[in-house]
Amino acid sequence: MLNLCIKAENKKLRHSVIWAACVIIPIIPAVMGTFNYQQNLGILTGKWYSLWSQLSLFYACFFYAPLIALYCSYLWRLEHLNHNWNVLMTAPVSIPDIFFSKLAVIFKVTVITQIWLAVLFLLCGKLVGLPGGVPAQILSWLLRGTLAAMAIGALQLLLSMCIRSFSVPIGIALAGSVLGLVISNKGLGLYWPYSLMLMGMNSNKNEDTLAGQSLFFFLSVLFFFLLFSAAGILLLKKRDVKA
């Protein structure tokens, strides 16, 4: 049944604005990060690592979580319109299948977004004349940041389920990301879900900030994923969200 729900959710993405956002929005931090890198070549001497520090700073702080929030808001938007919520809740499928099918589709689009970011990073590096290919360590940071999206996806799906507004959850994601930068700089990032994305991608750092803390990072991602998923499923089971 979960597989059928996922197929139904995938149909909602056909010819949707999500794909335009997936392609266009990551270009913005890629351009901003590359420009900032070129303007500071005197102090940014780590080549690929320095370029990544600038690109990931803009992307993880201002675009990554809001993008996921946009995906979540779009998937719940149809349910909040034209009494579709009643149709959804009376469908012969389980509540967990409804929630996790949406989450699976969100994660799929997020993976595609991350792959596109990796391509943009490679292109930007070659445009500024960096030698060789992208270091494997940076690709591992990108993978960690993708895994962190599981926690944010569950959180934003919960918010978009409860908040009818399309834009408010996106604004919350942006505020949470900016606050996440402050919290992670204070060494408390593992306790704030939005910080996990920055820490996973090693945003604005040349050296791995999670060295020796990888296990705690993955446990934190798992904890928040389970927490927000359980909260979303419980809310769907116990009460109707206004539509």
Per-residue pLDDT tens over the stretch 129-152? 999 889 999 999 999 999 999 999
Please determine, for residue 243, whether its predicted confidence score (pLDDT) is greater than 70.
no
More confident residue, 242 or 96: 96
Q: Which 3 state secondary structure label does DSSP give 26?
A: coil
More confident residue, 83 or 29: 29
At residue 85 the predicted structure's pLDDT band, cuts being 50, 70 and 90, is low
| pLDDT per position as a tens digit, 175-232 | 999 999 999 989 899 999 999 999 999 987 778 888 888 999 999 999 999 999 999 9
Q: What is the mean pLDDT of residues 22-41?
A: 94
More confident residue, 236 or 192: 192
Percentage of residues in the chain with pLDDT exceeding 70?
A: 93
Q: Which long-range contacts (CB under 8 A, 24 or more apart) does 20-25 make?
A: 21/67, 21/70, 21/71, 22/67, 22/109, 22/112, 22/113, 22/116, 23/116, 25/63, 25/67
Task: Report CA-CA distances (Å) from 6 to 21, 72, 107, 129, 229.
Answer: 21, 14, 12, 42, 16
Q: Which of 98, 72, 88 is nearest to 162 (CA)?
A: 72
The per-residue pLDDT for 37 is 93
* Rounded distance between C-alpha atoms, residue 227 and residue 243, angstroms: 24
More confident residue, 84 or 169: 169
Q: C-alpha 133: how far from its chain's center?
A: 25
The per-residue pLDDT for 34 is 95
More confident residue, 65 or 80: 65
The per-residue pLDDT for 21 is 93
